[in-house]
Amino acid sequence: MVLTNQSTLHKQSVKGIKNKPILNKINFQGMGIDKVRRVLNEIPDKLRQCNILQYNEIIHSACHLLMDNYIKKWELSNEENVFYTLSGYAFSDYARWQRYKRGTEEKIKQTENDIQKAEEAGKDMSQQKTQLNEAKKLIAESEYNKTNEILKQIKINDKEG
């Protein structure tokens, strides 16, 4: 259920939702294959609502292809269906977080390079360097959201960092 996680996490993060309501669709006691299929069929609509369908169509198609190929000989129990659904959800969440962290680290490096270039051009970048040092301190403490907030405030050549 990597797709479920991608669409809902995007939408929930934009709206500031913290409790991940997509999990309400999962019966933690177990889900039969019909319920899994219903949840899978809801995914394209959720992806469309988040304007990210085009990025996930191939994954969704592959998921349907796998389901179609194995549906007649499905051997997973209802509990195993939930386990693997949640495993995909957790993996997707982990991968998304890793991308976010890498992106933040890349923004730090890019901002550092931009400040250096501006200094070489003779500009006073002392305020921006102070902000960058604060962002570096926060990233060292794994405060990625706060780091990104500070990076957005850094202006170099009348553009945001």
Give the pLDDT confidence of 27-80 residue by residue, as tens digits: 899 999 999 999 888 888 888 888 888 888 888 889 889 999 999 999 999 999
How is residue 7 written in tokens?
A: 């669409």
H helices, E strands: number in the chain: 6, 2
Of the candidates 87, 90, 89, 14, the residue with the CA atom closest to the CA atom of residue 49 = 14
Of the candidates 23, 61, 6, the residue with the CA atom closest to the CA atom of residue 31 = 23
Task: Return the H-helix or E-strand segment holding 146.
Answer: helix 144-153
Amino acid at 142: S
Q: Tell whether the torsion through CA atoms of 59, 60, 61 and 64 is positive or negative.
A: positive
Output the pLDDT for position 26.
87
Over the stretch 134-146, which tens digit does the pLDDT of each residue have? 999 999 999 999 9
> Residue 1 half-sphere exposure, CB side, CA atoms within 13 Å?
27
CB distance 52 to 10 below 8 Å: yes
- DSSP letter assigned to residue 16: T
- C-alpha 158/C-alpha 161 separation (Å) is 9
Output the pLDDT for position 19.
65
Predicted TM-score (pTM) of this structure: 0.69
- DSSP letter assigned to residue 130: H
Tally Cβ neighbours within 10 Å of residue 100.
Answer: 14
Is residue 3 pLDDT above 70, yes or no? no
| Confidence band, pLDDT 50/70/90 cuts, at residue 15 | low
How is residue 50 written in tokens?
A: 């988040």
Output the pLDDT for position 21.
65
Over the stretch 76-122, which tens digit does the pLDDT of each residue have? 999 999 999 899 889 988 998 999 999 999 999 999 999 999 999 99
Q: ∠ CA(38), CA(42), CA(48), 5° rounding?
A: 165
| Confidence band, pLDDT 50/70/90 cuts, at residue 7 | very low
Q: ∠ CA(119), CA(101), CA(84), 5° rounding?
A: 165
